[in-house]
Amino acid sequence: MSTLVIQIPQRQRLRAQRAAEAPPTSDEYAYVTSPDGLSVLTHGSCAPALLPKATTTIAVLADADVSWHRITLPKAPAARMRAALEGVLEDGLLEDTDSVHFALAPQAKAGNPTWVAVVDRAWLRHELAALEGANVFVDRIAPMAWPEDPPSGHFAESGSDAEGGTRGIALHWAHGDGVASVRLQGGLARALVPTPPPEGTRWSATPGAAAAAEQWLGAPVQVLTPAQRLLQGGRSPWNLRQFDLARRTRGDRAVTDALRALMSPEWRWLRYGAIALVAVQVISLNVWAWHQNGVIRAKRTEMQKLVQATYPKANPQDIQRDPQAVMQREAQSLRTLAGQPGDDDLETLLQAAAYAWPPGRPPVETVRFEPGKLTVAANGWSAPQIEQFRNTLRPAGWQVDATTEGRLTLSRAAAATGPRS
């Protein structure tokens, strides 16, 4: 499963920019791709439309773009949690609560202390919209650094330095009490980092800041390229896509996300199982169809032999084409020669009509006969008499149809549903 980690450029805090103006759009985004989330495959910087495609896309915010607040999580339903956070953090924020975005720590529980990440809402929305406009859909937003214990410190260049020294180097210090970004100039960094540092503290630096960092720290540091640290930030357990910025997948995006998840390595065996199941079903259906066709052919062959043996004078071609029709035709011929009426003859139809004729009704006045169908006049019949006539004949396999002209048509029920085979 490939991963694309995008660095959201640090927010520009322009004093001259009016609050109503939209934040400036980033022209290029630094990125790194990884096949497993641990090793760097490719990295670079390009416009949003040129970013590589990947199974999972993670956007990482700079250290200074996220502020951290330690609170006791209020007991509120999910739909009211943001409003509850506004009430708790209102006095501790420098900005209005409507202009910031909140995100809770992973596995935060109501009534327990937890961390809340705060980001400028309009700026973050603008960055996400710029990426989505280029068909880059961010699955997760992660901070570059977050409160953790044991602490970690990362040294990086913070800008040009006209006087030399360590003024252009910044320390991003993440510890159990929050995250801070300070320059090495002055005594703030010394006051921020305990002496000696807590056991287990991890130190890293960019290649350009490594020498100054080791001189300031008096100890070696791990050298991390910007791409390596960006990938490290992508492994953060935090996801800032919460509340109104939570992913809402609908329509084509929902289908795309489902297919993307299905094609991930975690679902490999499920895909193999589904393919195997479909293959077994297709093969089984074909084998069953082949077997049923064989059974049908065998029964048809037996029927053809039986008809040929019973009626040797019948046309063999007719027997091959429709043995059942040949058998019915020959049986009707023998019945006619013997003087016995068939099911479609007038005598049989008259006998059936006479058997069910309602008591008290006069003899029929007009009769119309077609092979297999007898129509009699029923003028003056009441609805109960017609229903009694029909119900009497139905168990014997007859069907009675009443017309608006006062006629009743008697026929075999099989003939009413389709041609007899």
CATH code, residues 341-417: 3.90.1070
**Cα(270)–Cα(408) distance, rounded to whole angstroms?**
64
Highest-pLDDT range among 32-46, 342-356, 384-398: 32-46
CA distances from 121 to 25, 138, 177, 381, 395 (A): 15, 16, 24, 85, 79
**Cα(192)–Cα(181) distance, rounded to whole angstroms?**
10
What's residue 364's pLDDT?
A: 79
The pLDDT tens digits of the residues spanning 126-155 come to: 999 999 989 899 999 999 999 998 999 999
Residue 58 carries which DSSP code? E
Candidate from 56-60, 178-182, 328-332 with smallest mean pLDDT: 328-332
The pTM of this model reads: 0.59
- Torsion of Cα atoms, 204 then 208 then 214 then 215, to 10°: -150
CATH code, residues 3-144+240-263: 3.30.420.380
What's residue 24's pLDDT?
A: 62
What's residue 23's pLDDT?
A: 61
Q: What does the domain layout of the chain look like in residue ranges?
A: 3-144+240-263, 152-220, 267-340, 341-417
The pLDDT tens digits of the residues spanning 368-399 come to: 888 888 888 888 788 888 888 888 888 888 88
- Judge whether 30 and 6 are in contact, CB under 8 Å: yes
pLDDT level of residue 288 (50, 70, 90 thresholds): very high
% the chain with pLDDT above 70: 87
Largest Cα–Cα distance of the chain, in whole Å?
A: 130
Count CB atoms within 10 A of the CB of residue 191.
10
Q: Residue 377 contacts by C-beta under 8 Å, 6 or more apart in sequence?
A: 364, 365, 366, 367, 406, 407
Q: Is the pLDDT of residue 340 over 90?
A: no
